Structure 1
Amino acid sequence: MVCRMFRIEAEVDKARRDLLHSRLRETNTAASPVLAALRGTTAERQLPLHIWAMTGADELAGGLVGHTWSTWLQVTYLWVDAVHRGTGLGSRLLAEAERAAREDRACRAARVETWDFQAPDFYRKRGYEVVGVVPDFPPGVTEFTLTKKLA
């Protein structure tokens, strides 16, 4: 018999979040031959990828934070300090992340989300193509999803 009574809760709960994530992954893996083929391989896990640019005074000049999963690089954050913008540092950080993803982790593609006031043109100039647009997210702003083949 299926229980039809539920208690709905709205609270931050790391253990439940992790359980939900695990169960979702199991469901997705069972439904997808591609995900099933990754099971037990290093490509199955999300592996952090961090690239840092430090000044001679050991201060953060810029950095890229992302992860690799399957055959993809996901760029989460890319930031360059204002005094170093326009010097090519952002391009160097992105190129190094792409190189590491491609050569060290066998990634074939990269993806990034960015807002219209951030860097869609920066990524386009580096070979990324817009594959998704979400207008008014957040209100008054457009979000772009861009991808690039790394092979």
Structure 2
Amino acid sequence: MDAIWNELKLMQGLLAAAVLNGLIGWQRERHGHNAGLRTHILVGVSAALFIVLSETLVSTFAKQDDQVRFDLIGVLGAVVSGVSFLGAGAIFSSKRGEGTKELTTAAGLLATAAVGLACGLHLYVLASGATLLFWLTLGTLSRLPARPYSQSVGEQR
């Protein structure tokens, strides 16, 4: 029975990741972007699950044998690499001839993974603060008028 309670306690991080990343995904979906609510929740909860599984492996097997080594930093790197690959696919699959598109989507997926990792580590205040910053960035800053790239480059000369 203790094992079930321990696993339910670990679910806190996954549930927090679902809620916080759902906010980011909802904002993206509300504005008609390709990666929306479901994608952001899946990426964030997956990242949280990877870190929870890694911590569980360490706490379970590190005590059994001194020769077993674990690299939690490697897990973080693997999550970042995997999500970056997903983001690159979003950029690559965007329409040709229109310049680079979907950079914000790729960055949003990476941000979502970071929030998920923080939730998996039970750093809920940090994850909430980061979500608020991401949400404000995606919402408020998107309303600012954009300057064409050629004008901003020309003004610097």
Verify same fold: TM over 0.5: no
The structure in which a higher percent of residues are strand is: 1
The structure in which a higher percent of residues are helix is: 2
TM normalised by structure 2 equals: 0.28
TM normalised by structure 1 equals: 0.29
